[in-house]
Structure 1
Amino acid sequence: MSTSTPPAVPTADRVLQVLAVLAQQGRTLSAAELMERTGLARSTLYRQLARLKRWGFVLESDGHYAPGPLSLQLALGFDLASHLVRQARPDMLELSQQSQESVGLIVAVNDQAICLDLVESQHSLRCSFEKGRSVPLRAGASAKCVLAHLPEAARAAVLDGQWGAGTPGRQAAQDELDAIRKAGFAVSLGEVDPGVWGCSVPLFGASRQAVGAITLMAPTLRAQGHEESLIRMAVVAAARISRQLALH
């Protein structure tokens, strides 16, 4: 059980905080678990849950809560309307076919790296990224890549929250992110999932600001000895997607 206290949020944002926590977990949560993850008092939490249930954003079953049908409608609308997903999907499919591995489309939201889309390998691969799931912006190629390419103020805020301003750990993390920006990609080995290698490359929009990243994921045994080739494939695919984003 976590012993850290979640950061306080403005009163008007509490209902969104509850919905965000439910969306990130990928399973039902009890009221006690929601209280722990949000830091809200029980009476406050129940008021927010009542609002969300009334609007169809949350379902309750046997005292456990999950995203409701209106959340699914939002997800469907996102799939149909997302410019980034539409532009990235063809090259993600091509990269997956070329490499025979899984490819994820990742964006940063607050302090999380969220998988917007995933093209799965025909091989079996168990990794944290599934469509709609998220991991903290801390470990792994995907998280480090999108964090490295956030605007400076947003990046600094995440690092301060993770390590504390002025600490040796924060400086080491900043140095690693600077190196990722210089290299143009991030690589990790078993940082999030044991035995999984990953390469993440940023995607840039028309303004040359990073809008996300694609991540090529493979079991270490299949990636070993082929890392340079896989990195080149991912870099080329990301460049094609960025060109499409710049044109549209």
Structure 2
Amino acid sequence: MTHSVSPTAVPTADRVLQVLAVLAQQGKALSAAELMEHTGLARSTLYRQLARLKRWGFVLESDGYYAPGPLGLQLALGFDLASHLVRQARPAMVELAQQSQESVGLVVAVNDRAICLDMVESQQSLRCSFEKGRSVPLRAGASAKCLLAHLPEAARAAVLDAQWGPGTPARQAAQDELDAIRRAGFAMSAAEVDPGVWGCSVPLFGATRQAVGALTLMAPILRAQGQEQVLIRMAVVAAARISRQLAIH
């Protein structure tokens, strides 16, 4: 189910960014009608924003459908090359994927969503993947819960209030679960986001001991059964290696 966003909720100057963000998050070409539904913008307003984005190369139009353009791809490439976190995490991610024979993702929290920055795929024919660039709400699944658990207190409270409502039993239950994740040092889930997928996510810490992201190991549930503790230990060790690298660079 999609939810439109009231245009009054987004400042006028930010509407062009709102359109670009929707295109990035959906991961597919969208029609004007779909963009109107996702953004809540009037057709005339939407077309003005799309014209600006097309002029600058951030959006391409083909047969009435809109998708991220070449300048967006250049931004993504530049981000990959410049990202300190991706560079430091990549060697340990590759090693963990080889050791576990499963897929490994690097995820970060942006506003109220978990976004995949990098991915090392399992070489097995049956494998799980969280596509690079994909985002999900900070609500369900190991990655989202691990990131949410390690957000600064005020940011975490704001997300929980928005999801569950202040002072509700559901919010308290979510808070208790996040507290348990912080104590354990990892989050684990099974089929919470994608059917048949088991995942374990471990926080990554920078030089200031603030969490900067999470390392997620994911596998088909049938293959992970009975191996959960072994896989968790592998992920914890790999995350500790990355955190050490981040602390000294």
Q: TM-score, normalised by structure 2?
A: 0.96
1:155-177 CA distance string (max 9 Å, x none): 11111211122222111111111
Aligned to 2:135: 134
Question: Does the Cα contact within 8 Å between 1:149 and 1:210 map onto a contact in 2?
Answer: yes
Q: Are 1:39 and 2:40 counterparts? A: yes
After TM superposition, give the deviation of residue 19 of structure 1 in Å: 0.7
Identity across matched positions, percent: 88
Contact 2:119 2:131 in 1 (8 A): yes
- C-alpha separation between the residues in 2 aligned to 1:9 and 1:63? 25
User: What is residue 189 of structure 1 aligned with on the other side?
Assistant: 190
Give the 4+ runs in structure 1 shifted more than 2 A: 1-7, 124-128
Range moving further from structure 2, 127-136 or 177-186: 127-136
Give the Cα separation in 2 of the matches to 1:246 and 1:11.
Answer: 40
26-35 or 121-130: bigger deviation? 121-130
Unmatched runs of 5 consecutive residues or more in structure 1? none
Residue identity in the other structure for 1:180: I
Tell me what 2:2 maps to.
2
Which amino acid is 1:223 matched to?
Answer: A
Match of 1:199 in 2: 200
8 Å CA contact 1:186, 1:200 repeated in 2: yes
* Match in the other structure for 1:90: 91
Describe the shift of the 1:26–1:128 C-alpha distance in structure 2 as closer, same or farther (beyond 3 A): farther
Cα deviation 1:64-98 (Å, max 9, x = unaligned): 11000000000111111110000000000000000
**Matched position secondary structure for 1:105:** strand
Backbone CA RMSD of aligned residues? 1.4
Is 1:123 the counterpart of 2:128? The answer is no
Q: Give the aligned partner of residue 51 of structure 1.
A: 52
Taking the aligned partners of 2:238 and 2:129, their CA distance within structure 1 comes to 22
Task: Tell me the amino acid that sits aligned with residue 208 of structure 2.
Answer: S
Counterpart position of 2:173: 172
- Equivalenced residue count is 248
**Within-5 A mapping of 1:220-235:** 220-235=221-236
Are residue 113 (structure 1) and residue 114 (structure 2) matched?
yes
Is the 1:22–1:67 Cα contact (8 Å) retained in structure 2? yes
Does the 8 Å CA contact 2:88/2:246 hold for their aligned counterparts?
Answer: yes
